[in-house]
Amino acid sequence: MVLEHKSIRLFGKMVFEKATIHPPFKKPYPMQDEACFVYILRGQNNAVSALEHLQISEKEAVLMKCGSYLSRMLPAQTTGTYEAVAVHFYPEVLKRVYENDVPAFLQQTPENKPANAMVKVKADALLEKYFDSMLFYFANPELVNEELLILKVKELFLLLSNTRNAPQVKDILHNLFTPRYVGFKETIEAHIYSSLGLEDLAQLTNRSISSFKREFRQVYKESPARYIKNRKLEHAAKLLHATSLNISAIAYDCGFNDLSNFSNSFREKYGLTPSAYRKAQIKKPWK
C-alpha cells in the first residue's frame, strides 16, 4: 500500500519521485523509453531484470537502463515501511537539459556493450548529501524551479560517473536508452529456480500472460507450470544428493517459499519425502 507519493516534474515529465510504502509490495517496471535511478532510504528493494536479480538495501541504489523490471519492496525493521527516491531519465528531457553539450559518458559509442541491464551503487557521502537536498525540495516544492532541476539532473550524472564502481555505471550510462535483447528461453532459464510466478516471467519477457503460456508451450512442449515445477524438483533432488544443505535452504534455493508445499510436491514426484530421499541416495553416485 502506498502511504505517501510526491513528484517533481521537469519539461512535463515526472523526473523526481519519492514514495513511502507499506510492504510487502511488488510492482512491474516496464521502461521501454526511459531509464531510472532508485535510492533506498528505508527498507530493501529486490530488483529483477530479464537476466539479473539484485538486492538493494538502505543507503544503496540501483541504476537501470531501459527494459523490463520487477521490484519487490520489503520493510525496514525499525519503521515497518519502505521509502525511496527515484530519478527518471528520458531521452527528450536529457536533450533539453544538455542541449548541444552532451557529456562523453552519456554518448553511445559502438564499442560499448554493457554486460548488465542494471548495477548496484553504494552511496558515498556526496550521493547521500545529494538525496538529502532532494528531500528538502520534496518538502519545499515552492522553492523548485526549472533552472534548479536542470542543475540537479546534471549533478546526479556527475556523481554517478565518479562512483566507486564507475566503469560498470558508465557502461550503462553509455547505453541508457538502447534496449538489450534477451531471448525468451534465456529469460526463463535465468529465473527457472526463482520464486517468480508466471505473470512475473510474462512481464520480464514483455508478453501478456496468454501469449507467454502459448509461446512457452511452443518452446518447451509442456505447460509452464508443470515444466518449471519439475525443473525445480529435479534441481532439489540433485542438491539433496550432492550437498549437505538443510531441506529448508534447498527449498528456498529452488524457488519454493513454502516448505510444506515443497515436501508435498517432492513426495508426489519421487515417492519419498525430501529427508527420506536423501537417506536413500547417500550411497548412490549422482548420475
SS3 sequence, 150-181?
Answer: HHHHHHHHHHHCCCCCHHHHHHHHHCCCCCCC
Half-sphere exposure in the Cβ direction for 83 (13 Å, CA): 15
pLDDT computed for residue 102 by the predictor: 73
- pLDDT of residue 112 exceeding 60, the answer is no
Cell numbers of 156, please? 546526479
- Determine the Cα–Cα distance for residues 161 and 171; give it in Å rounded to an integer: 10
Lowest average pLDDT, out of 76-85, 143-152, 178-187, 248-257, goes to 178-187
Crossing angle, helix 166-174 and helix 146-160, to 10 degrees? 130
pLDDT computed for residue 122 by the predictor: 92
- Determine the Cα–Cα distance for residues 148 and 142; give it in Å rounded to an integer: 12
The 10s digit of each residue's pLDDT in 203-259 is: 999 999 999 999 999 999 999 999 999 999 999 999 999 999 999 999 999 999 899
- Determine the Cα–Cα distance for residues 172 and 106; give it in Å rounded to an integer: 9
> What do you get for the CA distance between the two ends of the chain, in Å?
48
Count helices and strands (H / E) in the chain: 11, 10
Number of neighbours of residue 246 by Cβ within 10 angstroms: 11
- Output the CATH code of domain 184-281: 1.10.10.60
The 10s digit of each residue's pLDDT in 169-200 is: 888 888 888 877 889 999 999 999 999 999 99
pLDDT computed for residue 283 by the predictor: 59
pLDDT computed for residue 11 by the predictor: 96
- pLDDT of residue 108 exceeding 90, the answer is no
Lowest average pLDDT, out of 94-108, 145-159, 253-267, goes to 94-108
* Better-predicted residue by pLDDT, 179 or 62: 62
pLDDT computed for residue 164 by the predictor: 80
pLDDT computed for residue 175 by the predictor: 86
Question: What is the phi/psi pair of residue 25, to 5°?
Answer: -145, 125
Half-sphere exposure in the Cβ direction for 114 (13 Å, CA): 28
- pLDDT of residue 110 exceeding 60, the answer is no
The rounded mean pLDDT for the chain is 91
Half-sphere exposure in the Cβ direction for 104 (13 Å, CA): 0
pLDDT computed for residue 162 by the predictor: 86
Burial class from Cβ neighbours inside 10 Å (0-12, 13-18, 19+) for residue 163 reads: buried
Per-domain residue ranges of the chain: 2-174, 184-281
Which band of pLDDT confidence, cut at 50, 70 and 90, is reported for residue 284? low
- Output the CATH code of domain 2-174: 2.60.120.10
Half-sphere exposure in the Cβ direction for 203 (13 Å, CA): 17
Which band of pLDDT confidence, cut at 50, 70 and 90, is reported for residue 89? very high
The 10s digit of each residue's pLDDT in 2-57 is: 999 999 999 999 999 999 999 989 888 889 889 999 999 999 999 999 999 999 99
- pLDDT of residue 287 exceeding 60, the answer is no
Helix, strand or coil for residue 201?
helix
Any alpha helices (H) in 107-163, and if so which ranges? 125-139, 146-160
